[in-house]
Amino acid sequence: MKVLGHTTKMKRRELFRSFGSAFRGDSPKPEVKESIIRPPYYANIEDFSLCIECQDKKCATTCEENIIIIQEDGTPKLDLTTPTGCTFCDECAEVCEANVLQVDQMRNIDATIEIDILKCLSWHQTMCFSCKEPCIDNAIDFLGMFRPSINADKCTSCGFCVYRCPTNAITITVKEP
C-alpha cells in the first residue's frame, strides 16, 4: 500500500478489521453482557463496599493497561472492551489501601468468554487468527485452520481477545456466583 510516497505494509489484523467493519458499522465496542466484572484479586465480593471510602483510587491509576475504571459508587470494575486486557500484574492489589484487592487472593476473572459462531469469520471458512494471536493463555483452540473455541481450562478471561475480533464475535459475560 503506497501513501504519499511512503510504502506501508497493512497488517493482517488491520485487513480483517476493515472487512469486519462492514458487518458491524462504525466500529462499536465489543459486546459485553455483564454489569460488573471486578479485578481478579478479591476474597469476598461484599468487600468492594470498602472501596467507597477510598480517596486515592490507586487501583485504577496504577493499572498500566487502563482497564480499571471507578464507577459512580466508588468501586472498581474492569473494562474489557479496550484494546488491552488484564495481565495479572498484581499492581492494583499491591496499592489497595483498603485490602479489598490482595495479591494472595488472585483468581481468574469472574467472567466467561464465548465465540458467536454466526459472527466469527473462521467459522465461515475465512482464515482469521485475530483472537488467538493476543491470547496470553493460549486458550483458543482451532480445528485445523478454522472453528475456534475457547478452552475453558486455560482461559483466565483476561479480555485480550475481545477487542481484537474484527466482527465482534467474542462476548464476555459475568459469571454468576
Mean pLDDT, the chain, rounded, equals: 85
Kindly report, residue by residue over 5-52, the tens digit of the pLDDT: 433 444 555 555 555 544 545 445 555 444 799 999 999 999 999 999
pLDDT of 177 reads: 60
Question: What is the pLDDT, as a whole number, of residue 137?
Answer: 94
Alpha carbon separation from 128 to 10, 68, 107, 158, 162 (Å, rounded)? 15, 29, 30, 20, 14
pTM for this model (two decimals) = 0.76
Asked if residue 67 has pLDDT above 50, the reply is yes
The answer, yes or no, to whether residue 149 has pLDDT greater than 70, is yes
Residue 13 class from Cβ within 10 Å (0-12 exposed, 13-18 middle, 19+ buried)?
A: middle
**What pLDDT was estimated at residue 31?**
52
Q: Tell me whether domains 12-29+111-174 and 38-105 share a fold.
A: yes
What average pLDDT does the segment 84-108 reach?
96
Share of the chain above pLDDT 90, in %: 73
What pLDDT does 12 receive? 54
Q: What are 87-98's pLDDT values in tens digits?
A: 999 999 999 999
Domain boundaries, the chain: 12-29+111-174, 38-105
Q: What's residue 32's pLDDT?
A: 47
Average pLDDT over residues 146-175: 94
Rounded-to-integer distance, Cα 71 and Cα 114, Å: 25
Q: Are strands 32-33 and 170-174 parallel, antiparallel or unpaired?
A: parallel
Render 30-94 in DSSP notation, one character per residue: PPEE-S----S-BS-GGGGGGGGG-SS-HHHHH-TT--EEE-TTS-EEE-TTSS------SHHHH
Thinking of the domain 38-105, which architecture would CATH place it in? Answer: 2-Layer Sandwich (3.30)
With contact defined as beta carbons under 8 Å apart, do 119 and 167 qualify?
yes
CA within 13 Å, CB half, 12: 9
Residues ≥6 apart with Cβ < 8 Å to 21: 27, 166
CATH topology for 12-29+111-174 is Alpha-Beta Plaits (3.30.70)
CB 88 within 8 A of CB 156: yes
pLDDT at 144: 86
Q: What is the mean pLDDT of residues 53-61?
A: 93
Contacts of 4 (CB under 8 A, 6+ apart): none
12 compared with 68, residue with greater pLDDT: 68
